[in-house]
Chains A and B, each alone.
Chain A
């Protein structure tokens, strides 16, 4: 990709390759931004995987389309339109799916309606706008060359707010996710909590897409948390593992992308999927008794003192 900057080529001297990576300012920015996003996406994604809201996360990433095209139509920066549509989409999903985890099929049908509406609106905006959306490609596939100092700062602030909110709500959110009925009986406002989480998910998705592109946000949002939850059932350990895996995925992905003509998102997605497949194979080979995958987590997490 960065062919016009220099003529990067991968040698056998790993130390030299790594130092070449950090030689350029844009690459340092991309690595810093990627690391920030990996931490935030990992933590929010961990909760998303636990709550089985991957479909909601995917739908929120699709909000980029009406967001960017609507912003182009209104003449405001694309990122603003994206964040605004993400927040609006999160509220619509929270409203339509009723906040409860009642009927799963009803809930996902509501999310589907939100996504269909958003995409139809986006396509309408594009044809009303008439012109060519120059940002569309970098929006879809990410653009690691274009991460400015200001964008890094903005990502850092957004990530800190999101992680702080997650830390503040964490225990209650975990309780409400694992056992919504008991949580409601204890006086927790489950609907409000899940609405707040969806908003946070919207912010995390919008931030992640800056690095991976809209299509591949799951590489950081689902891959590392799902891998961690396959490996261990203990919440604290798997959270820590999620962050470590997320950072590894981003660093390896960006590192390879620097030496290649293909977009970073492809490498990040591939590394993420490979790590997940490896973890599942290992767990299967070790012949553990429990089912691999997150479905057993809640029972295992429950006794370790999850109290409101």
Chain B
């Protein structure tokens, strides 16, 4: 299996993207921002389409769209409003209305760009859309795989670097901001980091399947491990295991798409953890 170059590329990119998704996903679940992560993964699609319509590199569009939405949520959300009113910047369930509106608007733009793109380029748009929506981890070139691995590793390091204050401000936002932790800034930085990994993972597992790596392993880890450090390690481990297992499965069964296999494994682990816990 390892003799094939596309498998080696997929393993290299997949391992680090999955590790980053697992680690940052643990904080996403802790902070109740799963919907934000989901929205970020979906706006990657209009971003890529807009870039295609404008004729520039797809990744520019991907990263711009996700980081812009992350900033939008950070600025418009309830946490930001509370901070402006002089209170602690806690992320709240009420954010989901703001997320829903921004998300819907950006998807509307995606539909616009898709139509525009297909009017100008004939049939290629459908392939482009499918490529963005579902990812093509087996189609990564060596350079793309190295870039994905580097971004994944950077996100892991940055997340762990701000792990302590982030944990503090997620669990007890009032106390943290009283102690002088910049909770609002941390929240926005965290969302931007989430946007970066959402854009990168979109290329690996696809926009529609990102949740399977971001939220599901982390949710399983939260059910099993109470200790934060054990939880973060476990979330990363489950995500990487699902990635490896999924890739091997997809290699063994050619009719099985790799994205489906990866997500299916991570969901199986999640259901097993709910039975265990």
A108 and B103 within 8 A (CB): no
B256 and A112 within 8 A (CB): no
Give the Cβ gap from A55 to chain B, nearest Cβ, in Å: 4
B259 and A123 within 8 A (CB): yes
Q: How far is the CA of A158 from the CA of B240 in the complex (A)?
A: 44
**Per-residue interface assignment for chain A, residues 27 to 71, with 1 indicating a CB less than 8 Å from any chain B CB and 0 otherwise:** 000000000000000000000010010110010001001000000
B259 and A295 within 8 A (CB): no
Q: Pick the contact of A111: B34, B116, B259 (CB < 8 A).
A: B34
| Interface majority SS (helix, strand, loop, mixed), chain B | helix
B105 and A49 within 8 A (CB): no
A115 and B260 within 8 A (CB): no
B35 and A115 within 8 A (CB): no
Inter-chain contacts of A295 with B (CB < 8 A): 78, 92, 94
Q: Pick the contact of A291: B30, B85, B96 (CB < 8 A).
A: B85
A105 and B111 within 8 A (CB): no
A112 and B38 within 8 A (CB): yes
**Per-residue interface assignment for chain B, residues 169 to 213, with 1 indicating a CB less than 8 Å from any chain A CB and 0 otherwise:** 000000000000000000000000000000000000000110110
Q: How far is the CA of A119 from the CA of B96 in the complex (A)?
A: 21
B115 and A109 within 8 A (CB): no
B29 and A58 within 8 A (CB): no
Residue of B nearest to A291 (CB): B81
Q: How far is the CA of A256 from the CA of B111 in the complex (A)?
A: 15
Question: Given that A109-B222, A115-B211, A116-B216 are known contacts, is A216 also in contact with B267, CB under 8 Å in the complex?
Answer: no
Residue of B nearest to A111 (CB): B34
Task: Give the contacts of B100-127 with A (CB-CB under 8 A).
Answer: 100-105, 107-112, 114-116, 119, 126
Inter-chain contacts of B212 with A (CB < 8 A): 116, 119-120
Give the Cβ gap from A127 to chain B, nearest Cβ, in Å: 5
Q: How far is the CA of A109 from the CA of B223 in the complex (A)?
A: 10
Which bracket fits the contact residues of A?
35 or more
Give the Cβ gap from A179 to chain B, nearest Cβ, in Å: 15
Q: Does B263 contact A (CB under 8 A)?
A: yes
Inter-chain contacts of A180 with B (CB < 8 A): none
B34 and A116 within 8 A (CB): no
A261 and B119 within 8 A (CB): yes
**Surface stretch bound by B, among A165-173, A189-197, A237-245, A263-271:** A263-271
Q: Does A308 contact B (CB under 8 A)?
A: no
Q: Does A255 contact B (CB under 8 A)?
A: no
A266 and B97 within 8 A (CB): no
Q: Does B63 contact A (CB under 8 A)?
A: no
Q: How far is the CA of A98 from the CA of B56 in the complex (A)?
A: 46
B260 and A269 within 8 A (CB): no
Residue of B nearest to A65 (CB): B208
A223 and B218 within 8 A (CB): no
Q: Does B266 contact A (CB under 8 A)?
A: yes
A115 and B38 within 8 A (CB): yes
Q: Does A202 contact B (CB under 8 A)?
A: no
Q: Pick the contact of A215: B32, B110, B216 (CB < 8 A).
A: B110
Q: Does B158 contact A (CB under 8 A)?
A: no
Q: Does A262 contact B (CB under 8 A)?
A: yes
B32 and A52 within 8 A (CB): no
Inter-chain contacts of B92 with A (CB < 8 A): 295
A293 and B97 within 8 A (CB): yes
Q: Pick the contact of B115: A115, A261, A273 (CB < 8 A).
A: A261
Q: Does B154 contact A (CB under 8 A)?
A: no
Q: How far is the CA of A219 from the CA of B111 in the complex (A)?
A: 13
Q: How far is the CA of A120 from the CA of B209 in the complex (A)?
A: 7
**Per-residue interface assignment for chain A, residues 134 to 165, with 1 indicating a CB less than 8 Å from any chain B CB and 0 otherwise:** 00010001000000000000000000000000
B100 and A58 within 8 A (CB): yes
A273 and B101 within 8 A (CB): yes
B78 and A293 within 8 A (CB): yes
Residue of B nearest to A55 (CB): B35
Inter-chain contacts of A89 with B (CB < 8 A): none
Give the Cβ gap from B107 to chain A, nearest Cβ, in Å: 5
Give the Cβ gap from B73 to chain A, nearest Cβ, in Å: 13
A52 and B94 within 8 A (CB): yes
A219 and B108 within 8 A (CB): yes
Q: 19 A-B contacts, Cβ less than 8 Å apart?
A: A49-B97, A106-B219, A108-B29, A108-B32, A109-B218, A112-B211, A113-B270, A120-B260, A123-B209, A141-B114, A219-B104, A226-B97, A226-B100, A262-B112, A262-B116, A266-B111, A266-B115, A276-B101, A295-B78
**Known contacts A119-B209, A123-B260, A128-B255, then 14 further A-B pairs from the complex at CB < 8 Å, ordered by chain A residue:** A52-B96, A52-B97, A54-B97, A54-B99, A54-B100, A55-B96, A104-B93, A109-B219, A112-B211, A116-B266, A116-B267, A141-B114, A272-B104, A294-B94
